[in-house]
A and B are shown apart, each in its own frame.
Chain A
Amino acid sequence: MFSIDFRQIGIVAGKEFWDRIRNRWVLAVAVVFTVFALVIAYFGAAQQGTVGFHSIDVTIASLVSLVIYLIPLIALILGFDAIVGERERGSLDLLLTLPITRKELILGKYAGLAGALAFSTIAGFGAVGVILSPQLDLNALFHYAGFMASAILLGFAFLSLAVMLSVFASDRTRASGMAIGTWFFFVLVFDLLILGALVVTAGDYGGTVFPYLLLLNPADVFRVLNVFSLDEVRTLYGLATVFPEALSNPATLGGVMLAWIAGPLMVAIWRFER
């Protein structure tokens, strides 16, 4: 309805970001990422009886399995009280009497939290990239950077969901419950449902539709995005044959991810402005 003042967004974002730096949230998450990534890179092949770094593709494939659990959880924890927390403290009313619109407040909150999340992801996984770099060629580095970028997008998508929950929830307790439910649904339940449906229908029909259903889950988009950018892994998983060509295009998948980021945020703004 009114013009957007990016200065106001920046002020709110700056506060959220520095809050997370100061309370060492960013540091803690970055350290967790670094430690996990190092362990996976060096001991990921231990089951095969060897230790030490072998291949970036295998490392990324293992990291994907880890990140797909971890990042949605971290993003949901980061964002679930963004709005409802202010409401419960009583500071939301105060903020809303200032020369800032509700849209700017949400966008500022989101931008600041997203910045903190991106910063931890880059610092945490970036540190591992630097450590591994002597053993990586340019192509491998490129793949690793792609993994990091997609991990950031995954975080952004779940942060967007978290902020949306935060607008809808009437109190923090409910918001945290909704956040945990969201995590369970997208990370654990969704794939089981799809698999179950595939098995029940014995793949008779809908076989061409099922791969597209994966786009309804940002965690799956992240998985597909990473698995299909890696030739070695693609053959490893044996998925190349069943997966439609349109979905192995990183640009399409990236676009879907952006929709997962923008969509919940837009719903949050719509709801908050009512």
Chain B
Amino acid sequence: MASTIVEARGVTKDFGSIQAVKGVDLSIAPGELFGLIGHNGAGKSTLFKMMLGLIPVTRGEIRLDGESVTGPRFRDTRRKIGYLPENVVLYDNLTGIETLYFFADLKTVPRSSCAALLEKVGLAHAAGRRVREYSKGMRQRLGFAQALLGKPRLLFLDEPTTGLDPGAIRDFYRILRELRDEGVTMVLTSHILAEIQERVDRLAIMEGGVIRATGTVQSLREAMNLPLTLEIAGGAGLREQVARVLEGLAIDGIDDSGHSLHIRLPREAKMPALARLATLGETLRDLHVREPSLEDVFFGYRT
């Protein structure tokens, strides 16, 4: 097995005079759950489409499992790929199971595997109903089942949780974890940063056609050196006492939300601050350390 399953080298895409993607390098290891984030127009959709072979690269090279997705062995390469496009509308006049049959036939996957996939995404009860009667969430699940046809080694999921309710989102990520345990590599985009940050192994932040940063959420936070937040709750006079014990430490600020205090401080001040707060004893009822969210990281890279 190759050490990278997705390999992009110096990938550039020009649309006329506009350079949508500028010399992107990216390596994704087998079995990784990889997130690609960026605001609209950052170039992530273009990069996604080039990885899938939907649009040609202007310069550079993309290899999936060592092969070009548009090369002479493209049929074999594409059989290893599952793709869930953003906001896909499948065929209204087909039933759920017929939809899977159609895609299974094109992928040379036995039709017998389709019923189990509908079961997996929680659509077994609607297998015989026409897609036109499906809710948006059901359509999204059907699209996901389609992407799983033929046990792909590599899944591309474009904003996969759009239209799903919280329960379905949880189910969805449960399936992703199972797939990762089976060694499936997944590349997903999302605009819901809070949702993705708990779930991906690694992510890349795209902005203006380039990848600004790649790494684990934690490593990106550390590299950004964004302030942490200590959220504490306690008895009367807490604010004064806190201000007293933390005196002399480099604190960015203290906000009072009414029932708790939010202390913003640099990462290196975390341990000294915790040690001093511990001296408050019973006055302190509760304490949370809040890492900067992916939003903070994301907007940190944008500015």
Contacts and interface: CB of A to CB of B under 8 A. Distances in A.
Contacts, number: 60
Given A94-B85, A97-B81, A15 B107 contact: no
Interface string B6-18: 0000000000000
Contacts of B89: 89-91
Contacts of B72: 2
Contact of A11 (B78, B102, B156): B102
Contacts of B91: 19, 91
Interface stretch (B48-56, B222-230, B253-261): B48-56
B88 A98 contact: no
A97 B83 contact: yes
B interface, how many residues as a size bin?
20 to 34
A11 B88 contact: no
Given A94-B83, A98-B107, A99-B75, 13 more contacts: A11-B102, A19-B93, A89-B90, A90-B87, A90-B88, A91-B91, A93-B49, A93-B85, A94-B88, A94-B143, A95-B106, A99-B106, A99-B108
Interface string A99-129: 1100000000000000000000000000000
Interface of A: 2, 5, 8, 11-12, 15, 19, 22-23, 89-91, 93-100
A19 B91 CA distance: 10
Interface in B67-90: 72, 74-76, 78-79, 81, 83, 85-90
B15 to A, nearest CB: 14
A90 B86 contact: yes
Nearest to A94: B85
B106 A100 contact: yes
6 contacts: A2-B74, A96-B54, A97-B54, A97-B78, A99-B78, A99-B107
A257 B116 CA distance: 48
Nearest to B156: A97
A38 to B, nearest CB: 31
- Chain B CB within 10 A, most for which of A8, A22, A91, A97: A97
Given A89-B88, A91-B88, A100-B106, A22 B93 contact: yes
B240 interface: no
B103 interface: yes
Nearest to A97: B83
Contacts of B156: 97
Contacts of A11: 102, 105-106
A95 to B, nearest CB: 8
